[in-house]
Amino acid sequence: MTIFKKLTILGGATVFAVAAMPGMAQNLNLHTFAGRNSAVIGPVPHLLAERVETFTGGEVKIKVFDPGDLVPAIQYYDAVSQGSVDAAFGAAGFEVSKNSAYDFVSAIPFGPQAPEYYAWIFNGGGLELAQEFYARDNIYWYPCGNVVAETGGWFKQPLNGVDELAGLSMRFAGLGSKVFTKLGVSTQLMGGGEIYQAIELGTIEAAELSFPANDRSAGLPEVAKHNYFPGWHQQQAINEILVNMTAWNGLSDGAKEAIHVSCKAAILETMAEGEATQFAALEQHVADGVTLHTYPQDWLDTFHATWLEVVEEEKAANPDWARMWDSFSAFRARYKLWADRAYLPRN
Amino acid sequence: MTIFKKLTILGGATVFAVAAMPGMAQNLNLHTFAGRNSAVIGPVPHLLAERVETFTGGEVKIKVFDPGDLVPAIQYYDAVSQGSVDAAFGAAGFEVSKNSAYDFVSAIPFGPQAPEYYAWIFNGGGLELAQEFYARDNIYWYPCGNVVAETGGWFKQPLNGVDELAGLSMRFAGLGSKVFTKLGVSTQLMGGGEIYQAIELGTIEAAELSFPANDRSAGLPEVAKHNYFPGWHQQQAINEILVNMTAWNGLSDGAKEAIHVSCKAAILETMAEGEATQFAALEQHVADGVTLHTYPQDWLDTFHATWLEVVEEEKAANPDWARMWDSFSAFRARYKLWADRAYLPRN
């Protein structure tokens, strides 16, 4: 999108989008927050780039830049907004300082499993709300990958009661951290690569990170032996592509369709691979002496009641968050009539 | 694929695949088993055709033919195998007379929900087994759409016990019918359009058909007022594309990728739309005086035990079926370690 970038720089803030000329090559620089070797997620932007180039007959060439090459891993929002980076493969959870409503297209405590989540996103209003909010910052938003359920956290010692959470120091990212903070946990945010050492040194006593295969990559089974389930704070999460709006508007309809369809395929692929690759990690956890615990229902009830307090606070703090919550919870309430009947109990 | 068809006709059975020449237009005739207006499923082949033409820059043009235009709705297998029709959008359940193992890539009683199903298909061996079996008949197989859970059947009178099934006359398709037959039900197969009249005339007393939106289209809430859940016999089903192998081998790598990626996107789209459109149908059912029932757990246990008898018979009858079962059930057994812990109870 060199042409548009130059126009922006020369002409100031306002640039009228020009329809792409047939045969005019367009080069998009795409930042990714996840290294290529990151389990399940890492290959997504590289595959997207290959497919979009193939499907546009070379009209659109996407060059993928690793974390740090253009901007730091999770600090891509302003760069895409301003157009100094054309696009980014990311997760909305990294962008909630810009608008807390982005929580809803990232991961939601006590949120839905994947089929219901995408039903709301694509057919229940979620996509339109997200695109409205991102457009204010000159960004086109689209979901582009699924993240399977996280685990409910790693602890050095087993917990004998929900009250034992109070006073613990724990790495925790996202909305779930607000729930655990209310329960007396001292929550801290740190990168996945720092957790191992922080637990070993005693800086923290517990951590939630990701799904089991990623938790293994981070070495967590070596430093904590009690892994709790379910990951109530992140039953499923979404990856995304952000495209500078001027760059987006300059793409042909065929190129836009190539991005949409490739991203939808990526969601299915990461959903399938994510589900298929966790049990082997759990089997290895157990072989390494990790005990797999399930949170008792009354603890989950406490977490849920506390989450509803967080909901009220977030709604009051941000009208966009309230609009997302209203859309999401109205959809879920009607969906329940179906979900309560359609599916066999897991057994 | 006119060129390959002519070669086949002139030269006999064996034709060596020729790589597509760049810029050589290829026309594929695609039969669809489902009319364009069929809820959720109907638009899939039309969208596939549009996308593949766009993504190949017009190199591949797919013309979609409605049921009956080339061959009857569900009788497309031999035509694709022989190459008189290049491709078909279908469901493997229509093809089990060719190989009962196709059951596994269609719908499986007590089978998985969508994320687990696609985990096995794409990352657990299901795709490779299906492609091996179809290739024997000169067919390339690929999944191309999801069908959300069916309901567990429509009855004119509520059932007071599982023993009341014995003696009932019921429309029932697929493997589930073998379970109900063992329980004394007189199962019959008929098209969706015939069920309404058959119940009204008293030819049958009960029927399973599809998911709620399709059941409504077939008028079932007007002739039966008791709708049972869950659809234990079809928790999720898969649509597919079949392509004559000679035609498939003549496609460029880019065209093959366009079909794969468009089909994966179609799976996600139909999964999302399928989940999003059932609760409104159920709300209307209730407004029409339909009672929604849930099969008691002990009835489901009876259905499941009877299903395991069917499994033994099918395994003994067909080694391909046994290979599919072994792959599928070994995957599910390991997946359970994850699934039992990862997800919140539905509540």
Residue A7 has pLDDT above 60, yes or no: no
Asked if the Cβ–Cβ distance from A115 to B118 is below 8 Å, we say: no
Backbone phi and psi for residue B88, each to the nearest 5 degrees, phi listed first: -145, 140
Is residue A63's pLDDT more than 90? yes
Which chain B residue shows the shortest CA-CA distance from A22? B57
Report the pLDDT averaged over residues B171-192: 95
Q: Which residue of B has its CA nearest to A262?
A: B261
Identical fold between A2-146+237-276 and A154-234+289-325 = yes
Q: Is the pLDDT of residue B4 over 50?
A: no
B279 contacts A338? CB cut-off 8 A: yes
Is the minimum CB–CB distance between A47 and chain B shorter than 8 Å?
Answer: no
| Token pair listed for A234 | 């992140």
Q: Which one, of A11, A64, A75, A63, lies nearest residue A36 by Cα? A: A64
Q: How far apart are CA B284 and CA A178, in angstroms?
A: 40
pLDDT at A16 over 70: no
Kindly report the average pLDDT of chain A as a whole number.
93
Residues of chain B neighbouring A109 (CB-CB closer than 8 A): none
Find chain A residues with C-beta within 8 A of B269's C-beta. Answer: 122, 264
CB atoms A261 and B257 under 8 Å: no
Q: Looking at the predicted structure, is the pLDDT value of residue A13 above 80?
A: no
Work out the pLDDT band at A21, boundaries 50, 70, 90: low
pLDDT, average across residues B331-338 = 97
Proportion of chain B above pLDDT 70, given as a percent: 93
pLDDT higher than threshold 90 for residue A179: yes
Token pair for A243: 């495209």
Residue A339 to residue B345, Cβ atoms within 8 A: no
- Across the interface, of A119, A230, A334, the residue whose CB is closest to B343 is A230
pLDDT tens digits for range A210-258: 999 999 999 999 999 999 999 999 999 999 999 999 999 999 999 999 9
What is the per-residue pLDDT for A22?
A: 53
Q: Quote the distance between the C-alpha of residue A335 and its chain's center.
A: 23
Token pair, residue B216, equals 């409504």
B41 CB neighbour count, 10 Å cutoff: 27
pLDDT value at residue A347: 52
- Which residues numbered 235-264 in A keep a CB inside 8 Å of some CB on B? 235, 254, 257-258, 260-262, 264
DSSP letter string over B102-132?
GGGGT--TT---HHHHHHHHHHSSHHHHHHH
Dihedral, CA of residue B122, residue B123, residue B129 and residue B131, to nearest 10: 30
Does the distance separating the beta carbons of A279 and B335 come in below 8 Å?
yes
- A107-145 pLDDT, tens digit each: 999 999 999 999 999 999 999 999 999 999 999 999 999
As a whole number of angstroms, the distance between CA B137 and CA B249 comes to 14
The pair of three-digit structure tokens given for residue B162, joined into one six-digit string: 């599982």
Confidence of residue B221 (pLDDT cuts 50, 70, 90): very high
User: Is pLDDT at B20 greater than 60 in this prediction?
Assistant: no
Any CB–CB contact under 8 A between B27 and chain A?
A: no
Lowest mean pLDDT among A201-205, A283-287, A342-346: A342-346
Residues of B in contact with A55 (CB under 8 A): 54-55, 254, 257-258, 261
B 152-211 residues with CB below 8 A of A? Answer: none
**Is A272 close to B122, i.e. CB distance below 8 A?**
yes
Residue A3 clears pLDDT 50, i.e. is over it: no
Q: Residue B161 pLDDT > 80, yes or no?
A: yes
Could you give the percent of chain A with pLDDT greater than 90?
90
Confidence (pLDDT) at B23: 55
Interface confidence, given as ipTM, is 0.93
How many other CB atoms are found less than 10 A from the CB of residue A212?
A: 33
Residue of chain A whose Cα is closest to the Cα of B286: A337
Query: In Å, what is the CA distance from B106 to each residue of A196, B94, B117, B146, B236?
Result: 45, 9, 10, 10, 8
Distance from CA of A337 to the nearest CA of B (A): 6
The token pair that represents A269 in the structure block: 């692929």
Find the CB nearest A283 among B118, B297, B337: B337
Chain A window 93-152: which residues touch B at a Cβ cutoff of 8 Å? Answer: 110, 113-116, 118-124, 148-149, 151
Superfamily of chain region A154-234+289-325: Periplasmic binding protein-like II (3.40.190.10)
Confidence of residue B5 (pLDDT cuts 50, 70, 90): very low
Scanning every residue of chain A, which has its alpha carbon at the shortest distance from the alpha carbon of B109? A344
Number of cross-chain residue pairs from A and B with Cβ atoms under 8 Å apart: 189
Identify the residue among A338, A340, A343 best suited for mutation to test binding to B, counting B beta carbons within 10 A and taking the highest.
A338
> CB–CB of B107/B208 below 8 Å?
no
Residue A200 pLDDT: 95
Tell me whether residue A319 is exposed, middle or buried, using C-beta atoms within 10 angstroms of its C-beta: 0 to 12, 13 to 18, 19 or more. exposed
CB-CB neighbors (< 8 A) of B278 in chain A: 338, 342
Tell me the pLDDT band of B147, cut-offs 50, 70 and 90.
very high
Closest partner CB to A341 (pick from B229, B257, B338) = B229
Topology annotation, domain B2-149+235-276: D-Maltodextrin-Binding Protein; domain 2 (3.40.190)
User: To which CATH superfamily is domain A2-146+237-276 assigned?
Assistant: Bacterial extracellular solute-binding protein, family 7 (3.40.190.170)
Average pLDDT over residues B237-246: 98
pLDDT of B9 strictly over 50: no
Nearest neighbour of A342 by CB, restricted to B149, B265, B336: B149
pLDDT one-digit tens code per residue, B66-88: 999 999 999 999 999 999 999 99
Mind listing the pLDDT tens digit for each residue in A279-299? 999 999 999 999 999 999 999
- Does the pLDDT of residue A12 top 50, yes or no? no
More confident site: A307 or B6: A307
Question: How far is the alpha carbon of B251 from chain A, nearest alpha carbon, in Å?
Answer: 14
What letter would DSSP give residue A14?
-
By CB atoms closer than 10 A (0-12, 13-18, 19+), residue B66 is: middle
Residues whose CB falls within 8 Å of the CB of residue B50, separated by 6 or more in sequence, listed in order: none
pLDDT higher than threshold 70 for residue A18? no
pLDDT of B145 over the 50 cut: yes
- Interface membership of A284 toward B (CB under 8 Å): no
Q: How far is B280 from chain A (nearest CA, A)?
A: 8
Contact A254 B55 (CB under 8 A): yes
Q: Which of A151, A262, A276 sits opposite B124 (nearest CB)?
A: A276
- Among chain A residues, the shortest Cα distance to B270 is held by A119
Point out the least confidently predicted range of A54-58, A102-106, B4-8: B4-8
Q: Which residues of A touch B265 (CB under 8 A)?
A: 260-262, 264-265, 268
Superfamily of domain B154-234+290-318: Periplasmic binding protein-like II (3.40.190.10)
Band (A90; pLDDT cuts 50, 70, 90): very high
* pLDDT tens digits for range A264-279: 999 999 999 999 999 9
Contact A335 B275 (CB under 8 A): yes
Domain ranges in chain A?
2-146+237-276, 154-234+289-325
Residue A23 has pLDDT above 90, yes or no: no
pLDDT exceeds 90 at position B345? no
Chain A residue at shortest CA distance from B22: A57
pLDDT digits (tens, 9 = 90+) for B249-294: 999 999 999 999 999 999 999 999 999 999 999 999 999 999 999 9
Residue A25's pLDDT is 80
Q: Is B327 on the interface with A (CB under 8 A)?
A: no
Tokens (6 digits) for A119:
């039903």
